[in-house]
């Protein structure tokens, strides 16, 4: 047999939430509401769809390997130069590229516990060290403790802001104080996949406003723009960081339809506005519902809300029973939160379905 490195043998793969097809095959529910994966339940912009369709006539050609048109459009929106921007297969694709590029064997990364599991999978697949700092009792990042954990062998710190799956966020004051303690040679990944849902908060730090040379900001078209199936995102950083990453990235990613869908999505401010309105109203609806039924939850700056149960057994029972009724939710043991469940904000009829099923599961009137 071909030998496999020990760190790969020990790796636990990323396990996504159940698909609609899996739930239908297992339980045959009367209706389905997929509220597990933080997708945009509104769909995506018709301009994005049409742009992807229009490019099919040249689908025999490779896409632009440098993704110039999209990088230029993103750069123009953000007030930076194209040389500050790199595109990838989702923000995770850029994250993988960063991890692949920068680590020496003796170096390690630092992040919080209870954060995006995709980062943990990518770090562990690289075979470098990882230090995870516990979140606070209210599920927020302890930036002082994260800064304390930085050593001369720390190469990278990963911060998801807002965080997935908790929905909590680092404030401007916290971020500014943290950056004062970070050495210039430590790369900070600011994963802002949910930026569009948090950017209007007065104390939310847009990391691009600070122009730190050692910060790379990740954003995606998978969430607010509804292009999860196209797998496209981008990173913004100092041109030297981007130039280094461009040496390593696969030459023809993202795919041609993905690049064009993203270009179309950026032209539809109305769709983005409707998405934000749906998420904001849906979050408030979940808060009211949970308050009325004495469910503990964490207020969120993303497009999901995390419910907190007394123990893992109750969280398991809840998600299993909801699944049988066609409501797909995300239990969070892989994130280090075995007693928690993440609920994606959905359309009105999906939220109706959630509430109806919840009442049936707990025998509420």
DSSP assignment of 161-197:
SS-TTT-----HHHHHHHHHHS-TTSEEEEE-TTHHH
Q: Averaged in consecutive runs of 10 residues, what is the pLDDT profile of the chain (365 residues)?
A: 74 71 77 95 97 95 95 97 96 95 93 95 90 97 98 97 98 98 97 98 97 97 97 97 95 95 98 98 98 97 98 96 96 95 98 96 74
Instruction: Give yes or no: residues 202 and 99 share one domain.
Output: yes
Q: In this structure, what CATH number is given to the domain that contains residue 27?
A: 3.90.1150.10
Domain end position, chosen among 222, 243, 267? 267
Residue 167 to residue 186: CA distance in whole angstroms = 25
CB 30 within 8 A of CB 16: no
CB 303 within 8 A of CB 344: yes
CB 155 within 8 A of CB 162: no
Task: Note whether residue 274 is domain-resident.
Answer: yes
Residue 357 to residue 87: CA distance in whole angstroms = 40
pLDDT at 217: 98
CB 25 within 8 A of CB 128: no
Instruction: Give yes or no: residues 185 and 281 share one domain.
Output: no
Q: Which residue segment(s) compose the domain that 24 sits in?
A: 6-43+270-361
Instruction: Give yes or no: residues 67 and 96 share one domain.
Output: yes
CB 82 within 8 A of CB 237: no
pLDDT at 365: 44
Backbone angles phi, psi at 156, to 5 degrees: -150, 145
H-state helical runs in 19-138: 20-27, 46-54, 68-78, 90-102, 117-126
Number of domains in the chain: 2
Instruction: Give yes or no: residues 35 and 74 share one domain.
Output: no
**Model pTM score:** 0.94
pLDDT at 14: 65
CB 86 within 8 A of CB 71: yes
pLDDT at 364: 62
Residue 27 to residue 23: CA distance in whole angstroms = 6
Instruction: Give yes or no: residues 227 and 308 share one domain.
Output: no
Task: Note whether residue 289 is domain-resident.
Answer: yes
Chain-centroid distance of CA 79 in Å reads: 23
Q: Which of 184, 256, 183 is nearest to 213 (CA)?
A: 184
pLDDT at 245: 96
């Amino acid at each position: 047999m071909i030998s496999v490195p020990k760190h790969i043998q020990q790796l636990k793969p990323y396990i996504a939430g159940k698909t609609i097809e899996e739930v239908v095959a297992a339980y045959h529910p009367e209706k389905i509401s997929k509220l597990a994966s933080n997708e945009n339940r509104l769909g995506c912009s018709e301009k994005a769809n049409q742009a992807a369709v229009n490019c099919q006539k040249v689908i025999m050609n490779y896409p632009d390997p440098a993704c110039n048109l999209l990088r230029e459009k993103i750069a123009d929106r953000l007030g930076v130069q194209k040389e500050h921007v790199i595109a990838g297969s989702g923000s995770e694709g850029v994250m993988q590229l960063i991890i692949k590029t920068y680590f020496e064997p003796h170096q390690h990364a630092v992040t919080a516990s209870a954060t995006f599991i995709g980062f943990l999978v990518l770090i562990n697949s690289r075979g470098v060290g990882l230090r995870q700092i516990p979140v606070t009792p209210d599920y927020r990042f302890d930036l002082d403790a994260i800064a304390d954990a930085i050593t001369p062998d720390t190469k990278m710190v990963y911060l998801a802001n807002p965080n997935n799956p908790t929905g909590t966020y680092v404030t401007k004051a916290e971020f500014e104080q943290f950056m004062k303690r970070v050495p210039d040679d430590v790369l900070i990944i600011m994963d802002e996949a949910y930026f569009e849902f948090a950017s209007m908060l007065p104390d939310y730090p847009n990391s691009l406003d600070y122009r730190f040379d050692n910060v790379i900001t990740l954003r995606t078209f998978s969430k607010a723009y509804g292009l999860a199936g196209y797998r496209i995102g981008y990173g913004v950083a100092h041109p030297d960081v981007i130039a280094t990453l461009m040496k390593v990235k696969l030459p023809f990613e993202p795919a041609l339809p993905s690049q064009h869908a993203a270009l179309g999505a950026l032209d539809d401010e109305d769709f983005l506005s409707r998405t934000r309105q749906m998420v904001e109203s849906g979050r408030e609806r979940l808060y009211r519902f949970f308050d009325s039924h004495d469910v503990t939850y964490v207020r969120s700056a993303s497009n999901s809300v995390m419910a907190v149960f007394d123990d893992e057994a109750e969280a398991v029972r809840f998600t299993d029973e909801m699944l049988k009724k066609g409501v797909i939710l995300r239990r969070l043991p892989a994130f280090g939160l075995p007693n928690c469940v993440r609920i994606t904000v959905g359309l009105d009829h999906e939220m109706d379905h959630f509430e109806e099923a919840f009442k049936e599961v707990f025998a509420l009137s």
